[in-house]
Amino acid sequence: MRLRSASAAVAAAALGMLAGPTIPASAGTAPRAREPHVVDAPDFGTRVLVVGDSLTVGTLYCRPPYPCLTTLLAERGIRPVLRPDAVVGRRVAEGMAVLRTASRHLTRGTTVVIALGTNDLGANRATARGWVAQARRIVGPAVTIAWVDVRVSNPSWRTAQQALDLGLRDGITADDTAQQAAGHAGRSALLSWSTYAADRAIPHGRDGIHYTPAGYQLRAAFYAGALAGDPAFDRYVRS
């Protein structure tokens, strides 16, 4: 057990009012993503950097009675090494640039949470796998990386989501295996928001991507609980 002690545009994104991404036409149906075996989940420590898009912006928008992500992390003794960095419409390439800038703050024992991909739906499996390898090159072997997967409810986007998820899971498994074999401190893990949200039937907003304030509070609680090692979230943390 690992339990341890807005401008109008931003607010609109947080409340699920922006349109979703444009998805290219896709032939056929992508294979369903395999459920990775849950083995030896990482200890995420107490120092984190969160990098995300509008779905993370929503978790930072404190609106009573819903506590925001920073409050929930603090309650669990988790301290951001820098302010959570989330921007509406952010793509993975832009998130990698944030990691490069922040890399000097990422010391041994730090965990980077990457909650991106919604604005890159349509990326193929190999591209998503490459994101995992690229992030590892940027942060180095001593830092743990926790990727948050993507969930959409629009049926026309599900094939794209499945391809992206398969690539992330391929990359995470390969990276975590290599890290452990080399004896490095950093691990690689998936925080499966898609499974958690489906288990709790958390509804999307009208666009099939964003959430209500209550939904964002649940997403913030998911980040904080998974990072703190709360046993209630163990099944959603996958290496």
**With 60 as the cut, is the pLDDT of residue 32 above it?**
no
In a domain, 16, yes or no: no
In a domain, 14, yes or no: no
d(C-alpha 217, C-alpha 222), whole Å: 9
- Asked whether the predicted pLDDT for residue 180 surpasses 90, the reply is yes
CA 51 to chain centre: 8
Contact 69, 220 (CB under 8 A): yes
Mean pLDDT over 165-169 rounds to: 95
Grouping H, G, I as helix, E, B as strand and the rest as coil, residue 123 is: strand
Residue 33 confidence (pLDDT): 41
Range of the domain at 135: 42-238
pLDDT for res 156: 86
Domain assignment of residue 68, yes or no: yes
CATH value at residue 119: 3.40.50.1110
Alpha-carbon span 1 to 4, nearest angstrom: 9
- As for how many domains the chain has, the answer is 1
pLDDT digits (tens, 9 = 90+) for 181-194: 999 999 999 999 99
Give the closest residue to 162 by CA, choosing from 208, 209, 216, 117: 117
Predicted local confidence at residue 66, as pLDDT = 84
Mean pLDDT of all residues in 135-139: 98
| Mean pLDDT (whole number) for 156-164 | 90
3-state secondary structure of 7: coil
Residue 4 lies in a domain: no
Instruction: Give the Cα-Cα-Cα angle 87, 88, 93 (nearest 5 degrees).
Output: 65
- What would the two tokens of residue 61 be? 């928008």
DSSP 8-state symbol, 34: P
Q: Is 204 part of a structural domain of the chain?
A: yes
Predicted confidence (pLDDT) at residue 223 exceeds the cutoff of 50: yes
Residue 11 counted as domain residue: no
37 assigned to some structural domain: no
Q: What values do phi and psi take at 101, rounded to 5? A: -65, -35
pLDDT value at 15 more than 70: no
Is it true that the peptide bond before 64 is cis, omega within 30 degrees of 0? no
| 171 belongs to a structural domain | yes
